[in-house]
Amino acid sequence: MSSSLSLKAEFIKGLWKENPVMASLLGLCPTLAVTNASMNGLAMGLATTFVLLSSSLMISALRNFIPHQVRIAGYIVIIATFVTVADRFLAAYFPAISATLGPYIPLIVVNCIILGRQEAFSSRNGIGRSLLDSLGMGVGFIMVLVVLGSIRELLGSGSIFGFAILGDWFTPWMVMILPPGAFLTLGILIALANWYNDPSRSKARKVVS
Amino acid sequence: MSKMSLSTRMIFVLTLITVLSGGILAGWDMVTQPKIEFHRQEALKAAIGDVLPAHDSYQTQKTEFGSIYIGRRDSISDPVGIAFMAVGSGFQGELRIMVGLTPDMTQLTGIKVLEQIETPGLGTKIVVDPSNKQDPYWFPAQFKGLHISPEIVVIKNAKPTHNNEIQGITGATISSKAVTRLLNEQITDIKTAWTALGGTE
């Protein structure tokens, strides 16, 4: 049941082809909830990636040791431990980010990307391969959150990463920093990705070229 | 390991994982707790600094209605102001507001909303209003010098005419009223507590 991809492909697949948000539609709660600004998206992406990597390391190392019947309980405890570590780390060293993200950092525990990767990958593959898989998924998640956060911040506040991009002439679209803005932007991004990936479209393109 | 029965092994493994987890978290807590507490104290100090008139130090006094912070200057014996944290529900969730009062409890010296989850762009104007480029802090600024008797009143769509009135936020009447309701309710309690402590000293 272990993966047969090359190590490079193990990393790359998370970026686009099996991107946790764009392809698998996992982890939508934080994706929608915290991406009202680029910085929040980046912080959430990094925190999630940290939890993903550390949990993968532990779970792939312990994969032959944890009995199959209690694996989920074991995974959840391991994941929750690292989430708490990340939460306390942000509160201690980045209090501003911690205050902005509020309850969404503890909620990484229930992010299905993390449990999903452990169940589908780390529990069946070696440490090196599992770390590459998690890193790819993590980077893919960060990319989506930053892009989504930047689009919403640009249209909703006229800035990206806090730097004013659009001048005073621009009236911010309030809807973009509210929940509906998240649904609209994510919906459009996923529609574009699906259109790009559409096999019938690429077939047509090949015939033309 | 392989000699154990399955149920013993399940108990053994889960116990081991949870004990390790507890150990890691206890260790990490020792590292981070002082820093988190430090940030909390800094935030409290900054908030008290924002709502009270210039003061050199403040003293924390526990009362039956929560802590009050008495601001003092080194040069004069009377306190310059009393601050307390008003906590209650806003439009969507909890509001935490640092409130500053004159020592005679007739006027506010300032308020600062520390935590809120009001509607972005509308209710959040109780903190800052980015759409008002000249005066983004117009809403909280109104509370400075505001008289609290008989009670603070929100005026809609008009300029306040009395010294106990503030102008509400258009589109966020509930948030505006939540702030004033919280102040009206809790100032009464703090007054009682302050009088019990010896009144205006």
- Rounded to two decimals, the pTM is 0.80
Q: Specify whether the backbone of A66 is left (phi greater than 0), alpha (psi in -120 to 50) or beta.
A: beta
Task: Write down the pLDDT at residue A207.
Answer: 56
Judged by CB atoms closer than 8 Å, whether chains meet at B14 and A74 is answered as yes
From the list B149, B150, B129, the residue with the least C-alpha distance to B140 is B129
What distance in Å separates the CA atoms of residue B125 and residue B128, rounded to the nearest whole number?
5
Task: Write down the pLDDT at residue A208.
Answer: 52
Judged by CB atoms closer than 8 Å, whether chains meet at A174 and B120 is answered as yes
Task: Write down the pLDDT at residue A71.
Answer: 93
* Rounded average pLDDT over A175-197: 92
Contact A137, A113 (CB under 8 A): yes
- Residue B158, token pair as written in the block: 């008009």
What distance in Å separates the CA atoms of residue B194 and residue B187, rounded to the nearest whole number?
10
Interface of B with A in 11-70 (CB under 8 A): 13-14, 17-18, 21, 24-25, 28-29, 31-33, 35-36, 39, 43
Chain A residues whose C-beta sits inside 8 Å of any chain B C-beta:
36, 62, 65-67, 69-70, 73-74, 77-78, 80-81, 84-85, 88-89, 91-93, 95, 157, 168, 172, 174, 177-178
Task: Write down the pLDDT at residue B2.
Answer: 58
Which pLDDT band, with edges at 50, 70 and 90, does B54 fall under? confident
DSSP B147: B
Which pLDDT band, with edges at 50, 70 and 90, does B180 fall under? very high
- Percentage of chain B surpassing pLDDT 90? 46
Which pLDDT band, with edges at 50, 70 and 90, does A197 fall under? confident
CA distance A195 to chain B (A): 33
* Rounded average pLDDT over A117-123: 93
Residues 6+ apart with CB under 8 A from B183: B86, B97, B99, B108, B111, B143, B148, B152
Decide if pLDDT at A41 tops 50.
Answer: yes
What distance in Å separates the CA atoms of residue A40 and residue A101, rounded to the nearest whole number?
7
Task: Write down the pLDDT at residue B193.
Answer: 87
Neighboring chain B residues of A69 at a CB cutoff of 8 Å: 6, 10
B139-175 burial string, b = 16+ CB within 10 Å, else e?
bbebbeebebeeebebeeeeeeeeeebbbbbeebbbb
Task: Write down the pLDDT at residue B97.
Answer: 93
Task: Write down the pLDDT at residue A114.
Answer: 95
CA dihedral A175, A178, A182, A183 (to 10 degrees): -80
SS3 per-residue string spanning A87-133: HHHHHHHCHHHHHHHHHHCHHHHHCHHHHHHHHHHHCCCCHHHHHHH
Task: Write down the pLDDT at residue A198.
Answer: 84
Neighboring chain B residues of A93 at a CB cutoff of 8 Å: 35
- Percentage of chain B surpassing pLDDT 70? 97
Residues 6+ apart with CB under 8 A from B41: none
Task: Write down the pLDDT at residue A203.
Answer: 65
Task: Write down the pLDDT at residue A152.
Answer: 95
Contact B166, B141 (CB under 8 A): no
Neighboring chain B residues of A74 at a CB cutoff of 8 Å: 13-14, 17
From the list B187, B138, B146, the residue with the least C-alpha distance to B164 is B146
Task: Write down the pLDDT at residue B15.
Answer: 95
> B13-32 pLDDT, tens per residue?
999 999 999 999 999 999 99
> A129-147 pLDDT, tens per residue?
999 999 999 999 999 999 9
Q: Where are the domains of chain A?
A: 7-149
- Percentage of chain A surpassing pLDDT 90? 67
**Minimum-distance CB partner of A92 among B10, B32, B133:** B32
Residues 6+ apart with CB under 8 A from B49: B55
Contact B181, B153 (CB under 8 A): no
Radius of gyration of chain A (CA): 19
> B92-115 pLDDT, tens per residue?
888 999 999 998 889 999 999 988
What distance in Å separates the CA atoms of residue A83 and residue A49, rounded to the nearest whole number?
11
Task: Write down the pLDDT at residue A209.
Answer: 45
Interface test with B, best of A63, A68, A70 (most B CBs within 10 A): A70
> In terms of C-beta density within 10 A (0-12 exposed, 13-18 middle, 19 or more buried), how is residue A117 classed?
buried
Residues 6+ apart with CB under 8 A from A171: none
- Residue B91, token pair as written in the block: 């439009």
| ipTM value for the complex | 0.80
Task: Report chain B's mean pLDDT, rounded to a whole number.
Answer: 88
Decide if pLDDT at B201 tops 50.
Answer: no
Task: Write down the pLDDT at residue B1.
Answer: 52
Decide if pLDDT at A204 tops 70.
Answer: no
Phi and psi at A192, nearest 5°, equal -60, -45
- Please indicate whether residue A182 or residue B75 has the higher confidence score (pLDDT): A182
Question: How many cross-chain Cβ pairs, A to B, lie less than 8 Å apart?
Answer: 63
- Residue B41, token pair as written in the block: 């104290």
> A81-119 pLDDT, tens per residue?
999 999 999 999 999 899 888 888 999 999 999 999 999
